[in-house]
Amino acid sequence: MKVHFFHLMPYRFLPDDFAERYPSVWVDVPSHLFDPAKGHQLYNEYLDELEHAASLGFDGICVNEHHQNAYGLMPSPNLMASALARRTRDAALIVLGNSIALYNPPTRVAEEFAILDCLSGGRLVAGFPVGTSMDTNFCYGAVPGTLRDKYQEAHDLIIQAWTNPDVFTFNGKYTQLRYVNIWPRPVQQPHPPIWIPGGGSIETWEWVTQRDYVYCYLSYFGHQRGLTVMNGFWEEVERQGKEANPYRAGFLQFVAVSESDAQAELDYAEHAEYFYNRCLHVGPRFADAPGYRTMRTVRAGLRSQLGQQVHQMMNRELKWKDFVEQGFIIAGSPESVRQQLEEAAKALHVGQMMVLLQFGSMPPELVRKNTELFAREVLPHVRGLWSDYEDRWWVKPLPAGERASPQSELPAGVPAGGS
Amino acid sequence: MEARTLSIRDGMFRAHVCQAGAGEPLLFLHGAGGLHDGPYLDLLAQRFTVYAPSHPGFGASEGSEHIEDIVDLALYYHDLMDELGLESAHVVGHSMGGMLAAELAALCPHRVRKLVLANAVGLWRDDAPVLDFFTLPPDKLLAYTWHDPQSPALREMPVPDTDEGRIEMLFQRVQAFTTATKFMWPIPDRGLKRRIHRIQSPTLIVWGESDGLVSAVYAEEFRSRIAGSRVEVLPECGHFPMFEQRDAFVSLVTGFLAGE
């Protein structure tokens, strides 16, 4: 099994009474709550944490895209991945991803991902989410009724931009370009592996399976609740007669490791409560624009992950006991975490396990503890899972000897302070 | 009313049209929530031949995938009028249907005899933004769209009496709003201001004074852009004058359309 270190980059300093005083953590979250000086510290702290994880042997490090959101400070994950490309050596850079319907023209994504692939020597995983309704419809004004159609067109354009060696013309409904010819081109040919984060829509299962992409369910509600969605995906894989290879699926799981189960609660409870009770305080108005989900999915009774689930749960304040019992967070001693994580991976049949070891208001020293305990005491024990399967969805970097080594110091003689 | 289904453009669209009455043709264009059948249509049908279609993607009408924007929808209505054998008609548009009616009249003035715009969207003022009604559940929306949310007139807006029927109604609402986002998301300003000067039909602008969805200040916005138009503001009335002040609405519309 591959294990990846995922970061959401939350703002850690929302006030205690945030959920009572303000309508939403997303879309119309008040700007005065953001302190740019703290932002400076946070970005550097979080990049350190991702780099640290890469140095400890996680297979990949993951960043994602959110807008106008106090629990996700990455409107552009590509900027973060770009910084990470220079300061990591072997870990895959998993960008999950760019909401491709939002870019005008979408070749911008083909270009930036090609830059990242060149910069990192072929370590990029290209994620193409539709994006949440909050990000796409509310923050970026995308028309719900045409979002998925626009997404499909953007996808087709990007793939052509990567794979067609010639200058070509693209006459789409949403994008028209006379001369498509992106420079640079990706190191990985024909293109970087494509992973699709989804929230349980039927059409996405079908399409991802047809295209042979990786399906990722980035849930905040753990492996127990994730089963319904992942089962739906695997049924579709079976229906299409494709191999049930666990590496074609990814899952996001919160993990909290400590010396003992009791110590885990002492260490992590307040930070988990910060995440679930403050960071997920999404105004119901913004949960789901009409048309964001297809009628087929609406009629099938499935709910987007931040739609109904959140509302049902936000009716009361959640406590550590809820998170652990319901599997939102896999927590406890290394022994216990190992066992729970392996069971979860088996139940979900997932080969790309993304763990969230920084969540909510966790400060850097605690993230370091969690990350190091996980890397030392858990990671080696779960890696062997799925060894019978080949991961055909993994990065293909240049051989180590052909990869550039960024210089960490300025060459002698160059004044550090400019002229 | 009598319902029938018409095939438009060789089956590309299936139009569900309610029809009643006799007299000059009157095309009623509904808003973003879909066609609300009600006594107001029967009352209008006492004087006119009323055609009340559901737009593609609303109710039982199909083919919204072939409609990209409000101009496509207006041109579709030219096809529908052809199919109904109507060279021209009076056109009454409510809310989003008002935006559509104005587009129809601007694109092809000779097909619209007289025009009625009721609590219409389609223009934008920064100082009086149209409510983001898409984000509000039905119960919350009531407070914005009715002068008196306890009004007995609400009973004229039919609600199914079974759970299954009510669930189906919610699905229909999502379906209707989904299609409406093509014309109204994120802001219901799709360039009508560049075309509205072409309207030549005599025009009546009717507005519920307490409309919290699209403020009555928009009545004047429309009036100032349509030559010779006039405004009637209905007191104690919200976004649905054909329900909340039904008799006044019907009388104004009938008087205007039937008058010289």
d(CA A45, CA A222): 26
Contact check, Cβ <8 Å, A289/B182 = no
- The percentage of chain B sitting over the pLDDT mark of 90, rounded to a whole number, equals 90
Which letter does DSSP use for residue A400 in this model? G
The pLDDT value given to residue A306? 45
Nearest Cα of chain B lies from the Cα of A29 at a distance, in angstroms, of 16
Does residue A401 belong to the interface with chain B, where contact is any CB pair within 8 Å? no
User: Chain B residues with CB inside 8 Å of A285's CB?
Assistant: 132, 135-136
pTM of the model: 0.93
Q: What angle do CA A55, A58, A60 make, to 5 degrees?
A: 105
Sheet holding B48-53, edge to edge: B2-8, B13-20, B48-53, B24-29, B89-94, B112-118, B203-208, B230-234
Residue B152's contacts (CB-CB under 8 Å, 6 or more residues apart) are: none
Lookup: tokens for A17: 């009474």
DSSP A355-367: EE-S-TT--HHHH
The closest CB to that of A285, out of B136, B173, B174, belongs to B136
Neighbours of B186 (CB within 10 A): 17
User: Chain A residues with CB inside 8 Å of B181's CB?
Assistant: 143-146, 289-291
Does residue B193 belong to the interface with chain A, where contact is any CB pair within 8 Å? no
C-alpha distance from residue A249 to each of A4, A196, A358 (Å):
13, 9, 22
Amino acid at B159: V
Per-residue pLDDT of chain A (419 residues; tens, 9 = 90+): 999 999 999 999 999 999 999 999 999 999 999 999 999 999 999 999 999 999 999 999 999 999 999 999 999 999 999 999 999 999 999 999 999 999 999 999 999 999 999 999 999 999 999 999 999 999 999 999 999 999 999 999 999 999 999 999 999 999 999 999 999 999 999 999 999 998 888 889 999 999 999 999 999 999 999 999 999 999 999 999 999 999 999 999 999 999 999 999 999 999 999 999 999 999 989 988 999 988 888 877 755 444 455 555 555 788 999 999 999 999 999 999 999 999 999 999 999 999 999 999 999 999 999 999 999 999 999 999 999 999 999 999 999 999 998 887 666 666 655 44
d(CA A216, CA A233): 10
- Determine which of A285, A293, A304 to mutate to test the interface with B (most B C-beta atoms within 10 Å): A285
Mean pLDDT (chain B, rounded): 96
d(CA B219, CA B184): 18
Q: Coil, helix or strand for A37?
A: helix
Please name the residue that has the structure tokens 């300003």: B189
Does residue A289 belong to the interface with chain B, where contact is any CB pair within 8 Å? yes
Contact check, Cβ <8 Å, A145/B179 = yes
The pLDDT value given to residue A414? 61
The answer to whether B75 and B82 are in contact (CB under 8 A) is no
Please name the residue that has the structure tokens 């799925």: A386
d(CA B225, CA B198): 9
The pLDDT value given to residue A175? 98
Peptide bond into B137 cis (omega under 30): no
Which letter does DSSP use for residue B209 in this model? T
The pLDDT value given to residue A411? 65
Structure-model confidence comparison of residues B159 and B209, the more confident one: B209
CA-based nearest residue in chain A for residue B140: A285
Give B127-150 pLDDT, tens digit per residue: 999 999 999 888 889 999 999 999
Nearest Cα of chain A lies from the Cα of B174 at a distance, in angstroms, of 6
Mean pLDDT of B59-79: 97
If phi > 0 it is left, if psi is from -120 to 50 it is alpha, else beta; for residue A9 that is left
Nearest Cα of chain B lies from the Cα of A30 at a distance, in angstroms, of 19
